[in-house]
Structures are given as C-alpha cells and as structure tokens.
Structure 1
C-alpha cells in the first residue's frame, strides 16, 4: 500500500527536515533545469536588466496521490483523442458550423477564421499537419456498483483539450525525475514512516514524446527543393518567462534529429522570414546574427498566437496569415487551433435525444471502444446560445444558487479567462446578451480532497490541493488524404494548486508542478 493512501500523507515534517528538503529541492531544480525566469515580484527588471537570472519552478515537496485507474484511463484514451482532433481539423463544414455560433461575440475567433478563409481562396500548399496536444482532466468521484455493492468509483473528467501551445512538457518530465530522486535519496531519511515510501512513480517521457512528434513532422517534410538546409522554428512570445520548458524540447529535438532549431518572436515574423516566389511558397528564415544564412522552415511550432494579446495590431494578423499560407508544416494550423475551441468541446459532449446520433459519432464510430472511452471522459457542458439547451443554461448561469455549480468559459487558451460560481451572473449582465453565445457553461468537477506541501519562491505552503492531470499526445496527419502518419501518447503533466484557487496556471503564479504517486 502506498503511503499516500493513509491519512498521514504528506508526512509531518520536523523543522530540520523541512529545511533540508527545501535546500535539496532548490538546488536540484535549478541544477536540472526545472526553472523559470523570476517574476517581477521576486526580481525587478532594474535588478536584472539583462534577464540572466533563473529561479526554481513552484513545485510540491512530495508527489501527489492520484488514482491509478484514472491515470491509466487518461493514458489509454490519448491516441483516440489525437485522432479525433485530427479528424475535426479535417472537417471544415463542422468547424464552419461551430465557428458561426461564436463569431458574433468573439472577435478573436472571427479573425482566426478570416485567416483560414483568406488562405483557402488562394489554396493551401501544405497538406501535412502536426498536433502537439494536451488533454486536461480532474478526478471525479461517482457512485458505481461493484460486486453487488455500492462504492465510490473514481473517473477522470475532461477539463479541456489544448491544440495550441500545450506547455510544460519540458518541465513535467523533470518534475517526475525530481520526485524519483527524492524518493531514492531523501524520503527514506524522514522520521515519519508514511514519508519513507514505497512510492509508485510512473515513468514520464513528456519531453521526449513531444520532441518525437516534432521530429516526425520534420522528417515528413523532407529535403528542400531550393537547396536550403531545413529547420524547425519555435514561434514565441517576447519576454517569455517559461523559457526553459521550451528549451528542453529544443535541446531534445536537436539531440535526436540534428535539426537546426530557432526561436522567433511572434512580433518578428515579417521581418525575419519571407516566402519564396514559387508555387510551393516555401517559408525562408534568415538568421539575424548572420543574414547570409538562409534556412527553409520545415516545421513552425507555435508557442505564441493563442490569444488576442499576441495580435496587438493588423501586422500581427498579417504575420499569422504569412505563416499559414506557407509550405511549412504548422503546429497548429488555424483549423487545428479552432478545433480546440471550447465550443467544439461543448458540441461533442452534449447528448442528443436517443433518436439522433451524438455529434461525436461524426468522427468516431458510435458504439466503438474509442467512442465509449472518449464519451466517459466528458462532463456536463452546455451552450449559452438561444437554442432550447442554451436558454436552459442561461437560467442556470443567472440563478444565484444554481450558478455555484458551474464555470463560464470563453473560447480562450492560457488560463485566467474563466468566471466561476457567483462571479457568473454579474459578468453576464456586464456584456451584451448577443455575446453570450460565444461562451459555454461547464459543470464544475469536484475532485477528492488531497493535501500536499508546495515550495513557492522559497516559502512552504501546506494544505488542501487540487490536482489536474494533463496527458500529452503527438499526431501528424494529411489534411487531404485523411491519413494519420504518426499518432503517439507523449507523457503526462500534473499541475497542482491550493484548493482555494480557481485558476491553475503555473507561469501565472497560481499553480505548481507536481507528479503522480499512483494509489
């Protein structure tokens, strides 16, 4: 039996034990790249004008207990999810229908759609797409029947599916390595028997798995017809604090494939790239440090461009169009990014009358194993439009008591965009009713209580926590032929936050990195 199954987990620590663990974790995290650039609240720009400092990522002192059955459920369904979202991105008619429902109240989605329409008119030149996905879940306790007796059966329920900038793959594998290191060297020294182990810590190859997806796309692109050396471009935000997470993927890709990898700020796309005057419209990258060096971009991996903040002016939308119309393999294309909209998740998860097939059956054969496994991960999600279901959801959202069970979500990635419980009615009343249809209403998932100790900025925080499991997937497919060329599970992420926090963003300062201790 794992120590996490007992009431004394995490173990009670003496002051001397806490001090030792803090020192060990601080050094290990920086020494092994489990780090971020420090936030301004810790180190001001004046104190670090050249941005040379790094600090430990917020992390749990112990791996959090997580039901093994739920962990295996998420792992087993990931390749089916990869294929599902590849198929959604291929179904322009479906994306058109879904996008039409939200465009009236969401300028960002409308602008993304406009990029696709513009490229479609002149014709796409690159049929290959790459998806580096992450499906996020929480554990949900449901009453079930086993051997004639009622018992609580834990299941995972999907929070969201990310099709763009699915972060923390580079740091997640290192967090797992940290906890394995502590389990081998430090936990056995604790006075508390509960803390000494044994621990069930699964292997986590998220860095290698995501890099392998990039490598698969890079190989699929092939050699340059123009005689240039091919490369992979990471499109990034300026002043990125979560840089080491991205760097670990770069280093792994360079190690495994020898592909040149370059970081290009989203705001510099038009200055540092050009499109060849050929029918294929190859994307050419000129190295700023040596302009005589010209590379052909085989793959463009977007770690920026997922929210309105990356498009402050028209030139930024021109830059996205510039990349989209090129021959580079995009991760993601605009269509794949739109496939990750919350509205798509809602449409897939909403049951229809028994006389009508579920929308999920449009992509995965209804009644198949993949269909059943995906369907089991869905929670209750409702539209906020003027349909019968949408009008019923509006009543729930505006009711001061009923709204306590829900979260209101816009079509956004990156965290910090949602409205929870009692914040929902006043927010809805503050925006035009014509915009309500661009939101979804999702039933809150209530995970079982877990406690842990978080080390954040050198300080320990102990108490109740909420854990969110992310499962990575890598998929390469052909939009024209519908062929799936590569489809693999790519490791996991566990993010943990205090149980009083609504948002879980690690880089935003809400959550922390964690790993699973299977129970």
Structure 2
C-alpha cells in the first residue's frame, strides 16, 4: 500500500518522484488514457494524458463489492421507471426538467474492462435489430474532447464486423429520415443503434436538435438511451425514489433489494411549491453548509454550495423557479493522501477524496430482459478542497481502487 511514509519519502526525493511520474505518464499514453486539449479540442495533432493518480487509493473491499453487486438492481430500476410513464409524469410534472515493488498490494487492485462490457451490450442490441448492413451511429458533439475515449468502443465494434458512423445533430437533421416502416436512415445508411455521446444537457439542444431527437425516438433504431431512460436518470426522479414506498413500486416482492438500494441514498428534499418545499427552504437557509443545491443539469459545475445556497434560495424561494432544484445532504467523504498527475501541474502530496461508480450494461427487447450486467467501475478522485468534479475539466483524476 502507498502509505503516507512512502508518499512523504517520494516528496523528499524529487528526482525519484519525477522519474516515477514520467514513467506513469508514458504508461498512460501507451494504454490509451488520452485526452484532447482545450486549446484544440477537435484535433488529435496535440494530445495529453487523462488526469490520474500516481497511486491507487485505499477503498474498503466490502463497500466496493456492494457498489458492483447493486448495479444490476439499478439497471432494472432505471428500466422499470422508463416503462412507467405514470411515475415519470408524477416525478417530472412539477418540473420537466506495480512500480515501487509493492507486489502483494498490486494484487488488491481489481481488474476493470468496462469498454469490453459496453461494447458487448451495443453489439447485442445491433444483433437484435437484425440487419447485417445496418450501422451503429454515435451521436456526438461539436467540440469532441472525448473522441479518443469513444474510439475504444468504436474499434471493438469494428472488430466484430459492425460498422460505426459518427454524426452531429445538424448532420442527422440534413441527411436523416424515416422510411415507411419507421427505419432510420442517415446518409443512406440504415441505423440499428443510436448511441448518445451528447445531448444530456438542455444547452446541447437548438431548435432543430429537438426535431432530430424526436425523429430518432420515433424510429425503430435501438436508442442508448431512449427518452424514457434518459428521464429516469434525472434528479427529480432521484428525489421521488427517496420517498417512502416508491422503490417498493418497482420491486414489489423484493424487500431485500429495496433495502440494498435505499442504503445507498443520501437525504433528498423537495423544493416544490407548498409546505414541504417551504420547510426545505428554511432548513437549507438555517444550515447551508450541510447541504448541496442541485439543478436539473448533468456534467458537473452546476451544483451550489455553502453561502451560495443562501444567495440562490433568497432569490427564488418565493416563486416556482425553486422547483428546478433539489436539496441533498452534503456527503462528507473520508480523505486520503495521493499525488495527482495533471498536465502542467507540480507534483505534490495532496489530500484527496473519491467517488465510486459502476458501469451497467442493460439490454431489453420488448418486455424481455436480454442482458443485465455490471461491466466495470470508475474511481474518480479529486483534491478534497474541491466541491465539483469532472475529469475532462481537469478537476478530478482517474484512480484505481486498492481493496483493503
């Protein structure tokens, strides 16, 4: 384990630390942990490594295994929500919104190959569509910082004999159409699967983008995700799921699953207009340091903390704009010591905290579940003084769990 003594020893030996960091960066580049640079995000002429930690972070083995075991239940939960329009309407109607010789410790870092699992799911969906000449279309953004990471999935699909195309909203708008059988064609190619790499935030949509989204939703192509599954992941739905009795609606005969899922929830509180929302406002204004104010946004950089909660709520507390937010108990994670490797930043010992995510792969055909797996994990680590995260924004860094 990278104990504090080892870390402090490295800090006192800058030449050894630099050699170790340089070797780690080269390994990252060799293994495809690549990121385009902000100054030229649509070119691969100049690239850098994705921010990462020099050492794996200690993670309690029981908590790690709990997160992975729960993912198949979360897959089912999201799918069942997506098939329950009544629940979605209720939830959203208020707002549609091994380098140091530590060989024994190295065996405690679990394998992780989420790319293979995600590729397998996309390939299965393509197979179920049943047209060998059809393509998988990646719906991508104008500024493609993430393109090199997406290429890993593309290459694995190509190896399976599945053709992949990349298109933006405006390109689908100009060359996309449905035939009489509601099959989707783009540039004359039949599309079997639409894989959204973009379109998860309101600002991603211009007027024509909404028309394109509707076109794709109406088609027979498999959508990853379709609009119902997209809505099932919103914060308003998370808030509703935290209410007593709601999880039981989706797992009526599985109290153990309900208990396991509920154990992962933080406190979530409604800001809808009415007595319940008024009580939430008062609670947040009295102790803003205990909470996080979350809007209906994804991608990081949107949450509100501390005294800024007071400022925002004082502005919106008397009108319906406050329903665009939910209030959540602020999580106070355990901190560790590590060294963050980021382009242009000095090597130093840093107090860090992390979050664990699990990658779920789920495929359903009609009412029949075809695939439900946990296919990998993500450990994202940042300076413990940072509120927000985000690897692309160079705030957080990729990490590996050292199971203890």
Relative to the length of structure 1, the TM-score reads: 0.74
In structure 1, the partner of 2:163 is 260
What SS does the aligned partner of 1:8 have?
helix
Displacement of 1:11 in angstroms is 5.6
1:395-406 paired onto structure 2 within 5 Å: 395-399=282-286, 402-406=287-291
Q: In 1, Cα distance between the equivalents of 2:207 and 2:271? A: 30
Q: Deviations over 1:63-112 (max 9, x none)?
A: 11111011000011110110111000000010011111113xxxxx3xxx
1:238–1:266: 8 Å Cα contact kept in structure 2? no
1:475 counterpart = 2:378: no
* Correspondence for 1:347: 240
Partner of 1:437: 323
Q: Deviations over 1:379-423 (max 9, x none)?
A: 111111134432221112222xx1101001111111111111221
The within-5 A match list for 1:82-121 is 82-103=75-96, 109=97
| CA distance in structure 2 between the aligned counterparts of 1:209 and 1:446, rounded to whole angstroms | 32
Residue deviations 1:24-70 (CA, integer Å, cap 9, x gap): 12222222211100122xxxx5xx99552111111111111111011
Displacement after TM superposition at 1:516 (Å): 0.6
Distance 2:235 2:42 in 1: 39
- State the Cα distance separating 1:196 from its structure 2 match: 6.5
**1:296 positional shift:** 0.9
TM-align CA RMSD = 1.9
* 2:257 equivalent to 1:370: yes
- Once the two structures are superposed, the pairs formed by residues 202-281 of structure 1 within 5 Å of their partners are 202-223=110-131, 229-255=133-159, 257-276=160-179, 278=180, 280-281=181-182
Measured in 2, the distance between the counterparts of 1:82 and 1:211 equals 17
CA distance in 1, matches of 2:124, 2:45: 33
SS in 1 for 2:387: coil
Question: Match for 1:321 among 195, 198, 214?
Answer: 214
More displaced, 10-19 or 405-414? 10-19
Residues 336-393 of structure 1, C-alpha deviations (whole Å, 9 max, x = no match): 111111011111113x3xxxxx111110126522112111111111111134432221
1:301 corresponds in structure 2 to 195
CA separation in 1, counterparts of 2:34 and 2:57? 20
CA drift of 1:205 comes to: 1.5
Give aligned pairs, total. 399
Aligned to 1:512, the other structure's residue is in SS state: strand
Query: What does residue 35 of structure 1 align with?
Result: 34
In 2, Cα distance between equivalents of 1:12 and 1:197:
20
Asked if the contact 1:98/1:343 (under 8 Å) is kept, the reply is yes
Q: Is the 8 A contact 2:235 2:326 kept in 1?
A: yes
SS at match of 2:93: helix
Unaligned runs of 5+ in 2: none
Which sections of structure 1, spanning at least 5 residues, go unmatched? 104-108, 110-182, 189-194, 287-293, 353-357
- Whole-Å Cα distance in 1 between the matches of residues 126 and 105 of structure 2? 41
Q: Give TM-score scaled by structure 2 length.
A: 0.94
SS of 1:486's partner is strand
